[in-house]
Structure 1
Amino acid sequence: MQEQIDAVDTQILLPLVRQVLRQESAVLNQWTKTPIHSSGTFGIVTRFRGEATVNGEPQLWSLILKVVHNASDAPLDRSNPSNSRYWQREPLVYQSDLLTDLPDGFAAPCCYAIQQQESAALWLWQEDIVENPAGKWSAERFALAARHFGQFNALFLTERPVPTHEWLGHNLLRAVAKEAEASLLRLPELQTHPLVGRIFPPDIVAANQQLWQEREHFFAVAEQLPQTICHRDANRRNLLSRIGSAGQVQTVALDWEDVAVAAVGEELAALTILAPALREIPLHDAEEFDRLVFAQYMAGLADVGWHGDATTVRLGYTTACLRYGLALPAMFIDLALDESRHAALEARNGQTVAEFADHWAEVQRFIFRRIEEARRLMAR
């Protein structure tokens, strides 16, 4: 795969650069490429940038190449559209009209070309978004993103019918639970392991087991709520800020492989949980952050003309937190058991393994408080 990327030449780049510059007369000069993400499991991402000549004047350009493929070493089976990470979903999103005529505050990168490769891979040549302003987001900027996501979700509650494409995710809460089952069932027997027991203390294990027993009820409730199209992975690493052509602040959402038909409010689960989980927002501020983000999401829904009941939206959000409650054991059990990975974990996160474990235990308590709220709302 990397050999093919290294072989990218003028013949491949020139028509793309002409699209970027909107100049059919552009002549390509020199360029460089920089790996951004190269694990190869969910995609290889490379930035190409360089200089072209237009009417005798130099102009700079840049492009993102995202290679998606059904990697044989992927932790999940990605070959079936019913799975949570179907490998062709993002290219199919860009080949559809799903991302056309979006609200002014919400955007996705332009996709200039999708190229089929002999290696059963697809190359997505995308717009390179320059963040403006760059830097750490405040709670208020996350809340503005929630408003923009509310506007996007409201499109499919008001102006547009919910698409029925087979490749769109459907009932993905069920898919996530199925993928998490083996790890969840291992959790009780691993309680004596010091690090596993620290990430998943007894109260978390009990909460996980209760949620597992109740999962079908949660699924049924979520599927009866108003349905829309959700990005479903609104974490800071997938969100960029820029100024639009009319001077408005925009939220640009990257990585559309998780997009699905889902309940109104489900979009908030990723945004509200992952910001404190990934330490973008202090964990001790998570409850206030929840309230701020939810209020702005409701405002975004109203901006596009959807004035549904806040309790309904809150139920969609809190029910969808099941996704993270059930999925975290699959993410962390093997990491906890494999001591050879702990030094890299500490270096990457700037905290000891014990601090990492304690942080994620508290994140889970935050998640399960949302789950308990969902139970109360269901009981009304």
Structure 2
Amino acid sequence: MNSTQTMRLQVDIGVLHQCVEKELSKADLIISNWRISPFSIEKKNFTTAGLYQVRGNAKSGEIDYPWSLFLKIIQPESEEKNDQAHFNYWKREALVYQSGVLNHLPPLIQTPKCYVVEEKSDSEIWLWMEEVKESNLASWSLEKLSLIAHKIGLFHGGYATGEIPLPKEEWVCQEWLASWVAGCDQYAPDASSYYPIVKGRYESIDKNWNSYLSFRQHQNHYFHILKTLPRVVSHHDLSKQNMYMNRELTVIDWQYFSVSGLGEDLGKMFGVAISNDDISIHEAWYYQERLFDEYLEGLRLMGWKGNPLLPKLGFYLSVAFRSAWEMPKLMKLLANSTINELDKVIEKYMTIVEVQMRLAEEADRIIAEL
């Protein structure tokens, strides 16, 4: 028996019928056939146990209607993800859809419909969702990324001005970045064990390592400052994989739904984009300036009149803290490298860490000015 047949046996036909009726906006349907197949993506959240496309046909009278759904199966994966305060609390996306909080988001961002949240057991939930029909595989231009940054600014502006109330549910993550950094420290390689091997090999590495140590030693100070910034609803996973941009911006995967400091969400988007090569590392400095300007313009258009250094600080610190994952990765790569010349991967991460530490320095200058 193949996996498709196994999955079919586990599907509740009543739930499937309910989803198809909602998808087609028609009652009294008869599902004539259906099939389920795994859906492959490049990077999957640890709490995602499976992604599937469910397709078929349904009849109403003599008319046959094709339909297509998206099924996401989530599980806790590890003990810490049972904690509601954890950045990757396993039930969060299910609770996001059950609570209806996405229905109250500003209309600047579209989200897929969730037809049914099916709790299979205490440790497994199925999310039956609308399938996004657009493609996000093409490379993104500066213009497209700028438009996205502008829309995120508009989106956050409603919260920053206080016109849109923040969600109060206890499962909404309130300290996402601090929790994520703690997770990096738990699972990333031990950078300090690799540094003695590479010490003195490259002057830039020694400089950035010392900057990194200083930055991490003061991390609680930075986390405290982030909590003083204007608070906004944040997605915290605005990667190319999770965004579809045609006429409107559609965002999927709300597992990291949080209330965070102004600018943090944009910083996460930029940091992930340079890591994933969606932004060339050699153009990173220009891109970060352009994206922030677009973001700030969006905030201004929504009526936010605050100090622009505040969202810039959130943006810079969010990018800088990605070094908690990428500095250990770089140290391990360097320590295990047996060639004298840098390969492209090592050179890329050296440049990424350089950008992160430069933004950490800029953040310190802003803090001193504020």
Place the TM-score, normalised by the shorter chain, in its bin: 0.7 to 0.9
Aligned to 1:246: none
Residue 168 of structure 2: which of 142, 164, 184 is its match? 164
Note the C-alpha offset of 1:334: 7.3
> Does the 8 Å contact 2:189/2:329 carry over to 1?
no
Counterpart CA distance in 1 for 2:298 and 2:275 is 24
Aligned to 2:273: 275
Question: Residue by residue, what CA displacement relative to the aligned partner does 1:179-235 show, whole Å, maximum 9, x if unpaired?
Answer: 3335679312212557xx89x933332222111111122112111111111111111
> Does the 8 Å contact 2:317/2:363 carry over to 1?
yes
Counterpart CA distance in 1 for 2:189 and 2:276 is 26
Residue 361 of structure 1: which of 347, 350, 368 is its match? 350
Q: CA 1:273/1:11 → structure 2, altered by over 3 Å: closer, same or farther?
A: same
Sequence identity (%): 23
1:127 aligns with 2:116: no
Aligned to 1:348: none
Aligned to 2:47: 42
Aligned to 1:378: 367
Structure 2 residues not aligned, in runs of 5+:
none
Note the C-alpha offset of 1:263: 0.6
Counterpart CA distance in 1 for 2:220 and 2:273 is 28
Q: Secondary structure at the residue paired with 1:70?
A: coil
Counterpart CA distance in 2 for 1:61 and 1:237 is 23
Q: Which amino acid aligns with 2:267?
A: A
Q: CA 1:21/1:327 → structure 2, altered by over 3 Å: closer, same or farther?
A: same
Note the C-alpha offset of 1:134: 6.0
Aligned to 2:92: 89
Q: Secondary structure at the residue paired with 1:53?
A: strand
**TM norm structure 1:** 0.84
1:105 aligns with 2:94: no
1:224 aligns with 2:228: yes
1:181 aligns with 2:185: yes
> Does the 8 Å contact 1:183/1:329 carry over to 2?
no
Count of aligned pairs between the two proteins: 355
Q: Which amino acid aligns with 2:185?
A: E
Note the C-alpha offset of 1:148: 1.8
Residue 299 of structure 1: which of 297, 300, 304 is its match? 297
Q: CA 1:203/1:47 → structure 2, altered by over 3 Å: closer, same or farther?
A: farther
Aligned to 2:326: 328
Aligned to 2:7: 5
Note the C-alpha offset of 1:357: 2.1
Aligned to 1:144: 147
Structure 1 residues not aligned, in runs of 5+:
243-248, 340-351
How do 1:44-63 and structure 2 match up within 5 A? 44-63=50-69
Q: CA 1:338/1:100 → structure 2, altered by over 3 Å: closer, same or farther?
A: farther
Counterpart CA distance in 1 for 2:113 and 2:129 is 6
Note the C-alpha offset of 1:364: 1.6
**278-287 or 28-37, which moves further after superposition?**
28-37
Counterpart CA distance in 2 for 1:188 and 1:330 is 8
Q: Secondary structure at the residue paired with 1:62?
A: strand
Counterpart CA distance in 2 for 1:56 and 1:168 is 47
Counterpart CA distance in 1 for 2:136 and 2:332 is 38
> Does the 8 Å contact 1:10/1:28 carry over to 2?
no
Counterpart CA distance in 2 for 1:193 and 1:13 is 56
Counterpart CA distance in 2 for 1:66 and 1:334 is 34
Question: Residue by residue, what CA displacement relative to the aligned partner does 1:5-25 show, whole Å, maximum 9, x if unpaired?
Answer: 342264332111111010113
Aligned to 1:26: 29
Q: CA 1:67/1:325 → structure 2, altered by over 3 Å: closer, same or farther?
A: same
Question: Residue by residue, what CA displacement relative to the aligned partner does 1:296-334 show, whole Å, maximum 9, x if unpaired?
Answer: 212222333323221111111112224312233566777
**TM norm structure 2:** 0.86
> Does the 8 Å contact 1:229/1:259 carry over to 2?
yes
Note the C-alpha offset of 1:268: 0.8
Q: CA 1:133/1:230 → structure 2, altered by over 3 Å: closer, same or farther?
A: closer
Question: Residue by residue, what CA displacement relative to the aligned partner does 1:278-306 show, whole Å, maximum 9, x if unpaired?
Answer: 11122211122112211221222233332
Counterpart CA distance in 1 for 2:254 and 2:244 is 14
Residue 65 of structure 1: which of 49, 71, 74 is its match? 71
Q: Which amino acid aligns with 1:124?
A: L
